[in-house]
Structure 1
Amino acid sequence: MIHMEIHNAKKQDLYKIIELDKKMIGSDHRKEEINQAIKDEKCLIMFQEDEIAAFLIYHTHFFDCSFISLIMVDPAHQRKGLGSSLLTHMTKISPTNKLFSSTNESNESMKKTFIRNHFKKSGFVDNLDEGDPEIIYFKSCY
């Protein structure tokens, strides 16, 4: 696993985070969500030199538990353990005892990342993406 510094995103990081998100999904429609996560100090980033290599957004509105709503790794940095590093860090700093996240059933890479990091399947939600259920994952933080 590669080690890079992980810290809370700052206001000045917003544009670079939005650019990475846009690069991955082809849209900047999550810019307000990202901006709010930065304001709430719930956006973690990893830098490689001067570029944001990965970021994570979480909240605590999922039945009063921490929920990672978004993990994004720049394609140039994928398969290097950045997602795992973010999950490990989040497990250590989670403000709640329980940490949840989710991914589409079709996202084999993220499913493997959750399993490698000792997250357990906790259920699924149908009808978000047609024909591709969302799998919920859980890990105890203490």
Structure 2
Amino acid sequence: MFSIRPATNTDVDVICEFDSVAQQDKQRRAFVERSIDAGYCFVIEAQQHVVGYAVLEYSFYDQGFVSMLYIHPEYRRQSAGVKLMQHLESVCQTPKIFTSTNLSNLPMQSLLAKLGYTLSGVIHHLDEADPELVYVKYLRRGAG
């Protein structure tokens, strides 16, 4: 049902149509454009329509870091997020992969638990009164 591929510049408008933050924040659109240009952005499609995207970069202490995972609201809870995260794990160039989410984002925390991520730390004061939870998953033996 789903297919995953590297994002291209032609995907920017589609991504920004379903990403509610990008609809209001020009910086989010610029982030998407930069991520695509750098080759860090992947899209997931259902019936040849982009229904989600994720960004895997290596600026977090030279480790793989999923800095964005966003699924179109109509496709949530249909395994698109799981498939996209598993793809990122398969292409990650480091032996462990990190990501983060707000304490208030219970669906993402549930997804990470399902995929075997463990809590690695907490960052306060990024979003007022909503700490950022940092997670890690070891992808290869000997990484931990």
The alignment's TM-score, normalised by the length of structure 2, stands at 0.91
- On the 8 A contact 1:24/1:74 being kept in 2, the answer is no
* Equivalent residue, structure 2, for 1:60: 58
- Partner SS for 2:2: coil
Structure 1 residues 31-83: Cα deviation after superposition (integer angstroms, max 9, x where no partner): 11111111111101011224211100121010000111110010100111111
Q: Cα RMSD (Å) of the superposition? A: 1.3
Q: Is the 8 A contact 2:66 2:97 kept in 1?
A: yes
Correspondence for 2:129: 131
Shift of the 28–130 alpha-carbon distance from structure 1 to 2, 3 Å rule, reads closer
- Structure 1 position 132, deviation (Å): 1.0
Native 8 Å contact 2:2 2:47 kept in 1: no
Query: Match of 2:73?
Result: 75
Task: Note the residue ranges of structure 2 that are not aligned, 5 or more in a row.
Answer: none
What count of residue pairs does the alignment treat as equivalent?
139
Match of 1:27 among 15, 24, 29: 24
- Does residue 55 of structure 2 align to residue 36 of structure 1? no
DSSP-derived class of the 2:99 partner? strand
**Code of the aligned partner of 2:70:** M
1:5 match: secondary structure: strand
> Sequence identity, in percent?
27
Measured in 1, the distance between the counterparts of 2:63 and 2:51 equals 27
> Which letter maps to 2:24?
S
CA distance in 1: counterparts of 2:30 and 2:102, whole angstroms: 23
